[in-house]
Amino acid sequence: MRRNYIAGCLLFFLTGCSGTLEKGIKKNTEFPPAKQSDITFIVAGKTGNYRQSANGALSKLNFHFFAEIFLQKSGKVENSSIETPGNGGVMVPFADSGYALEMHGGRYKTKAELEAAYPNGNYVFSYSAPSIGSKLQTVVLGDPQSTVSLIPAAPIIKLSQQGEWVAANSINPDLDLLVSWTLFHAGGADPLGIMDDLLFVILADCQGVRRAHSGRPFEGTSYLTYADKFYLISADALIAENAYQLAVEHAILDTSIKYAVPAFATYATTTFLDIRTLGDAEPGQACHSIHKNSDAGQVVL
């Protein structure tokens, strides 16, 4: 923990920063109810993706539908698929990404195109898990009678080190990096008490390998919600003379729970920002540009 952090904290968060220096604000980290031991949560959602330039300007990338099943440690799920509204009852299978079971829809230039392809309504998950058997579980996205998109505004990312604003291409690799963002105005607490609206911060290197993650709920670690204002990336995640990919996501949730499996309908927006560290890398360690995207959401349509 660096001694100048308190000064930086006071500079940016006079009304909301605590004296406890954590990478994220500690939340309820209880696992899902013990009635099942395979799934942490399921989610279906619509998302917008944006890129932030070095001067802070945002440009639209694409809009996208996705669904995921996250597993508990040693959890198992088989025969997983999802039915989306208007697809004639066809069940689309999930694929194992290595950290979740995923289904990805197409990418679209406008929210209207996304809404037409993946309308509001019932998204039916089908899966089989040893602890609860074969189940159908429905996630309701929006009002089926409405075509209004609930995707929130894109966050603008802000960076600082030792209490000073820092440019995206001038990151000191020997200092922790404080990542903050514009307020998540659309976010709020969950009236059902299952899970408040979420924030995610992810740092990946030039090869797309994750180097820092703010955490997910129900995994026994800290994570961020709409009320959080910053995330601290340790200098240990950075090396000199390298390009990195930073992402900040704001996610609105409609929650439910069945079979002891929490379910989220989400409307999210992610902002991507490329950053670069100063200094001289060790021989063979320099990487001046992004070679592989860490997230397919970065594609430009």
Sequence letter at residue 224: L
Q: What tens digit of pLDDT does each residue of 239-256 get?
A: 999 999 999 999 999 999
Rounded distance between C-alpha atoms, residue 85 and residue 16, angstroms: 42
Burial (0-12, 13-18, 19+ Cβ within 10 Å), 90: exposed
Q: Which of 204, 193, 216 is nearest to 41 (CA)?
A: 216
Is residue 34 very low, low, confident or very high in pLDDT (cuts 50, 70, 90)? low
Are 2 and 236 in contact, with CB atoms under 8 Å apart?
no
Rounded distance between C-alpha atoms, residue 130 and residue 246, angstroms: 37
SS3 call for 276: strand
Task: State pLDDT tens for residues 68-92.
Answer: 999 999 999 999 999 999 888 899 9
Residue boundaries of the structural domains of the chain: 5-13+20-282
pLDDT at 145 over 60: yes
pTM for the whole thing?
A: 0.87
Amino acid identity at 158: K
Cβ within 8 Å of residue 198, ≥6 positions away: 217, 223, 224, 225, 226, 249, 251, 253
Q: 134: burial class by Cβ within 10 Å (0-12, 13-18, 19+)?
A: exposed
